Structure 1
Amino acid sequence: MADTNAPYMLVADAFRRSISEGEWPPGTRLPSRIALGEVHGVGENVIRRAQELLIIEGLLEGRPGAGTYVRAPQERLHMRRCPAPGHPSAPLAPAGIATWDAHSTAKVPAPPAIAARLAIEPGDHCVRTAYEFLDDRRRPVMTSVSWEPMAITGGTTVVLPDGGPFGGRSVIDRMAHLGIAVVRTVERPRSVQADRDQAQQLGIPSGALALLIERTFYDRDDRPVETADLLIPADRWTVDYDILLTSAGDA
């Protein structure tokens, strides 16, 4: 855990105040690190670390060859999560997404962590599908990687989520075609810092905060039929969980 009294953290707090109080409005080009260091009585390295922290938080942005600027507020997209598939079935792409690209690969050995989530053996064959979700300007706003056991879908018309007569349909619809009723999903959201590859895919700075949602669908026998990692930039989305509760009188 970072020391909140470290010089760069104190400088970062001062930068946040300058932004929140309007001293540095969006689009402002920050003074040079030498000038900022003189104002705050610290060295250039301390200023650099403070700037890097605020870039990760989405408050500043570095422009190669032009300096560091106060980042304009990003339009927030709204994602409604419906943990109970029948209340109602959540669409494949949430509101704010215009289109998506998908690429499926069959017979991919399940890594140990994925195998544990799917209750299969490590190395068992799965279909791995990588999704890139885009807004109306063709900018990436979410990625997802899903895994489905080929023991369930292999040899059927729904084996590839991005192809065949059910290509582009939800997991719920595709499993229903096989007579499998998806009745439950478990989602585990957690904050992460995007690594270099993830940041490149989402068009955000490396190390920027993102929300990772680990989602797994289950059938009536409590068998996992699909698991996926959804990754979204923390500063672009508002995520709501809409959960249907059963009252005591209905139980």
Structure 2
Amino acid sequence: MDAPYQRLAAALRRRIGSGEWPPGSRFPSIAALAAEYGVDRGVVQRAVGILRREGLLDGRPGARLTVAYPAAVRTLTDPDAPWPHGVGDVERGTAQASDELRDRLGLARRVTVRWERAELLDPDGRPALLLTRWWRGAEPRPHVAARCELRPHAMTAGEAAALGLAAGTAALLVERTRLDAAGRPVETADLVLPADRWRVSL
């Protein structure tokens, strides 16, 4: 027999599917649903977590959720091409290069690198993917080529929050490293793409 939160998730899923809460509309609060169904808030939170992982709800933890529009599936064919749509929140900083970053950037020792994380938006202005890049120096040096690797990825809490999804949401991760004319890395980046919205063809 299903647990209470699973039964509640199924009931809420049916109501979304019936159009009671159309795409883009505000979803009821945790407190309102707990009162309506006569259950503990924790039950509602777990049920809502299921719906967020399924992509039925948009929004960040602690903020009011909305019913998601059906995800348009796009295909990424050139991870090195300029992004054709808008850019949302951008964070920047510096950090000590981890061993992995040292390998990716071809660094001989631990040094400070700059990083930038940006939400890349779809044509409707909603977050489409997350780009985090690292480089050494004030600005990345010019590049003439890029190498890319693709692998499955479970979103971290930070990545998921930036995209309005639940931690652990299935994603595709493209590891992109830009190279100068001599084949030396000048920048490396992770592109995190929700797996239900993207296909990648490298």
Same fold (TM over 0.5): yes
**2:7 is equivalent to residue 19 of structure 1:** no
TM-score, length-normalised on structure 2? 0.64
Instruction: Name 2:3's counterpart in structure 1.
Output: 6
Distance 1:209 1:116 in 2: 27
SS in 1 for 2:143: helix
Q: Structure 2 unaligned segments of length 5 or more: list them.
A: none
Distance 2:37 2:174 in 1: 41
Distance 1:45 1:10 in 2: 14
8 Å CA contact retained: 2:146, 2:176: no
SS in 2 for 1:50: helix
Instruction: Give runs of aligned pairs for residues 183-194 of structure 1, distance below 5 A.
Output: 184-194=147-157
Cα deviation for residue 207 of structure 1 reads 3.7
1:158-206 per-position Cα deviation (integer Å, ceiling 9, x unaligned):
x614xxxx8xxxxxxx223xxxxx36322334131533x862x44x266
**2:198 is equivalent to residue 239 of structure 1:** yes
Instruction: Name 2:176's counterpart in structure 1.
Output: 216
8 Å CA contact retained: 2:148, 2:176: yes
Counterpart of 1:143 (choices 130, 138, 149) is 130
**2:35 is equivalent to residue 34 of structure 1:** yes
Instruction: Name 1:230's counterpart in structure 2.
Output: 191
TM-score, length-normalised on structure 1? 0.55
Q: Structure 1 unaligned segments of length 5 or more: list them.
A: 84-89, 167-173, 177-181, 244-251
Counterpart of 2:139 (choices 150, 160, 163) is 160
Among the aligned pairs, what percent are the same residue? Answer: 28
8 Å CA contact retained: 2:75, 2:201: no
8 Å CA contact retained: 1:126, 1:147: yes
Shifted more, 139-148 versus 212-221: the winner is 212-221
Shift of the 226–28 alpha-carbon distance from structure 1 to 2, 3 Å rule, reads closer
Instruction: Name 2:81's counterpart in structure 1.
Output: 91
> Counterpart of 2:132 in structure 1: which amino acid?
V
Instruction: Name 1:81's counterpart in structure 2.
Output: 77
**2:105 is equivalent to residue 118 of structure 1:** yes
Cα deviation for residue 123 of structure 1 reads 1.6
Instruction: Name 1:109's counterpart in structure 2.
Output: 96
Q: Which structure has the larger Rg over C-alpha atoms?
A: 1
8 Å CA contact retained: 1:128, 1:147: yes
8 Å CA contact retained: 1:192, 1:212: no
Count of matched residue pairs: 194
Shift of the 124–240 alpha-carbon distance from structure 1 to 2, 3 Å rule, reads same
